[in-house]
């Protein structure tokens, strides 16, 4: 577990980055559905190591870096399992890649409940990556809970569904 000061700094960095981000696509189940809301802003993704010419996996495809969950749940469904499998393959191909699993919840429930749910979600994705052969030192977990979602105006189930996710954010060692 990160010390409180480090964790606070990480939250500040994520909040600063998300303020600059543009909304990504809604999850596949919501695309094209009437009444589906825009997805909340996300942190910008690093496209590669400066000067290396390397691009991070799925930099241009946010849907391939996002695992969605049901309300209050941390169960990985078949669609999420496929996203995780593809990401595990990329991580195994390049041991210099590190993935940060950023866990989010919707804006319902208490902050403590949401943080616990976000932690279970990041743990579920981490466990699945490990089961697929990804090295432990390539995975970092950052449960955010409803920290960002409470600042987002979101009154519909379609909008809340997009908040219940784990983003896989890539970094280089």
Would you say residue 138 has pLDDT above 70?
A: yes
Class of domain 4-172: alpha beta
* Per-residue confidence (pLDDT) for residue 15, from 0 to 100: 44
Q: What whole-number distance in Å separates Cα of residue 102 and Cα of residue 45?
A: 12
Confidence of residue 147 (pLDDT cuts 50, 70, 90): confident
Q: What whole-number distance in Å separates Cα of residue 64 and Cα of residue 163?
A: 16
* Per-residue confidence (pLDDT) for residue 143, from 0 to 100: 95
Q: What is the pLDDT of residues 90-106, one digit of tens each?
A: 999 999 999 999 999 99
Would you say residue 32 has pLDDT above 70?
A: no
| Residue 25, phi then psi, degrees to nearest 5 | -70, 155
135-to-22, 93, 94, 132, 155 alpha-carbon distances in Å: 31, 11, 11, 9, 39
* Per-residue confidence (pLDDT) for residue 8, from 0 to 100: 45
Residue in this structure with the two tokens 């749940």, named with its chain if needed: 73
Weakest mean pLDDT among 51-60, 138-147, 159-168: 51-60
pTM of the model: 0.71
Would you say residue 128 has pLDDT above 90?
A: yes
Name the average pLDDT for the chain: 79
């Amino acid at each position: 577990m990160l010390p409180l000061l480090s964790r606070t700094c990480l939250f500040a960095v994520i909040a600063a980055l998300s303020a600059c981000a543009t909304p990504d696509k809604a999850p596949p189940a919501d695309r094209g559905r009437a009444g589906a809301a825009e997805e909340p802003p996300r942190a910008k993704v690093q496209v590669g190591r400066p000067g290396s010419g390397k691009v991070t996996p799925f930099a241009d495809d946010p849907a391939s870096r996002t695992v969605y969950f049901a309300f209050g749940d941390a169960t990985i469904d078949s669609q999420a399992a496929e996203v995780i499998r593809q990401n595990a393959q990329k991580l195994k191909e390049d041991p210099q890649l590190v993935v940060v699993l950023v866990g989010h919840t919707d804006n319902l429930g208490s902050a403590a409940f949401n943080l616990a749910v976000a932690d279970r979600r990041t743990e579920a994705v981490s466990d699945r990556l490990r089961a697929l052969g990804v090295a432990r030192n390539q995975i970092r977990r950052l449960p955010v809970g409803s920290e960002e979602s409470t600042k987002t105006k979101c009154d519909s189930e379609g909008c809340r569904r997009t908040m219940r996710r784990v983003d896989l954010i890539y970094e280089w060692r």
